[in-house]
Structure 1
């Protein structure tokens, strides 16, 4: 059972304050990417900025301020833009899948075409790496994603979103395909399990039966005590999923 209702996961994001090579964002920018199976929402906690998206409507800038919520479906490329102290509560569907490789960065086409090259560019150093090493690797990863994003953005404006995004979507499907059986198992044990439980509860309640209420539990969690992770778009504080 997932910790949060509906099988979602949350993380607290402080968007990177590293200047972007293309000069977008007064304070910095995250790494453009998409998700292949999970919807995502930003609940803005503070600061100012935007999320730039590439989807069926082409390029759109969604301005962000405290209290705003913006959701993007799987397949929509999104880039967090920091104009000053932008902090976001990130809500992800399908708890666990985003952390299991559901995000695909907008690297240049030659990197997207090669599973090994993509993995080498996307992975950060492992245990034992210093914070400086992790930050440098995350920044290189961000800048490579922005390199591919610049080409993609030009293609969207020149060719239209459907034609321009199709090769990225096809590459993303190839890249994540090896992980899908694991995702199916995790999704079945969490999201589907909870959905089935709700269906059974409703079937009981329509008959006036409330047996499921006797097995109620309370769950709680504390933030991961480790230093904030270097995520796609910024430094992340996370909570246990289960």
Structure 2
């Protein structure tokens, strides 16, 4: 790493992904399972790289219910529309990679709250929000939010296991309606992040084809450290990074 003022931190991580570290909640839910708040993402694929401990991720998608074991070295990922619930086993710690860095922070997720909450955008927003800070009030609100999401999730899972994907599909449609108003802002984040990163690759290929690697004169290195430790995320306690192309975390996250 260079000495002195250093380079401008104006480039995203490879592929414009988002990165955080996560320890799932160890709070026991109504079904006796310890873990996070079930939810889905509307646009972004999410990946887990397990760095310690054991647990699992439960998923609901139109092709069925899965309970994927997680242990050190495991890699699991799921596409938009997949409901996922991270389950704490024994000291599970995961590095999370999120597609389209900036979109998840801008609200690209919907909790599996019961239908009556999802039907009312104001009620949903109130149930999803957390007070600022990380004290007892925030912890209690995060746990209430998790319990409410599990309540709706268990109904979706029961129907899916019985062969009825209708409730899950209705939840997906409702989730899409809840976030539709955010699409213009997401589009701008995508253009400035993942789309721009892909375009730069094309520009480099063009330059190499023309035997003009002048862009290599701008080569440099970057570094970052977590800027927030142990925040209350959807699935658990998060260590977060402030990276190019991201926004402040959405309070519903």
- 1:84 counterpart SS class: strand
For residue 132 of structure 1, what is the aligned residue in structure 2?
Answer: 136
- Deviation per CA, 1:112-136: give whole Å up to 9, x if none: 111111100000013xx56111110
Give 1:151-190 correspondences, 5 Å limit.
151-161=155-165, 163-190=166-193
- Deviation per CA, 1:38-71: give whole Å up to 9, x if none: 0000000111110000013210010010000000
Structure 2 portions without partners, runs of 5+:
1-9, 245-253
CA distance in 2: counterparts of 1:159 and 1:173, whole angstroms: 23
- Deviation per CA, 1:172-193: give whole Å up to 9, x if none: 1111111111111111111111
- Deviation per CA, 1:96-149: give whole Å up to 9, x if none: 1111100110000111111111100000013xx561111100000000000000
- TM normalised by structure 1 equals 0.93
CA distance in 2: counterparts of 1:131 and 1:170, whole angstroms: 35
Give 1:33-44 correspondences, 5 Å limit.
33-44=39-50
- Deviation per CA, 1:151-188: give whole Å up to 9, x if none: 11112123433x33211111111111111111111111
**Deviation at residue 207 of structure 1 after TM alignment:** 2.8
8 Å CA contact retained: 2:113, 2:152: yes
CA distance in 2: counterparts of 1:195 and 1:3, whole angstroms: 11
2:19 aligned with 1:16, yes or no? no
CA distance in 1: counterparts of 2:141 and 2:226, whole angstroms: 24
- Deviation per CA, 1:8-29: give whole Å up to 9, x if none: 01100011011121012xxx21
2:7 aligned with 1:3, yes or no? no
CA distance in 2: counterparts of 1:4 and 1:95, whole angstroms: 9
**Deviation at residue 206 of structure 1 after TM alignment:** 2.2
RMSD: 1.3
2:149 aligned with 1:145, yes or no? yes
8 Å CA contact retained: 1:34, 1:103: yes
2:60 aligned with 1:60, yes or no? no
Give the number of equivalent residue pairs: 235
Structure 2 counterpart of 1:76, from 71, 82, 89: 82
After superposing the two structures, state which structure 1 stretch, 134-143 or 54-63, moved more: 54-63
8 Å CA contact retained: 1:94, 1:191: yes
For residue 240 of structure 1, what is the aligned residue in structure 2?
Answer: 242
- TM normalised by structure 2 equals 0.89
CA distance in 2: counterparts of 1:222 and 1:112, whole angstroms: 36
Structure 1 portions without partners, runs of 5+:
none
8 Å CA contact retained: 2:12, 2:193: no
For residue 5 of structure 2, what is the aligned residue in structure 1?
Answer: none
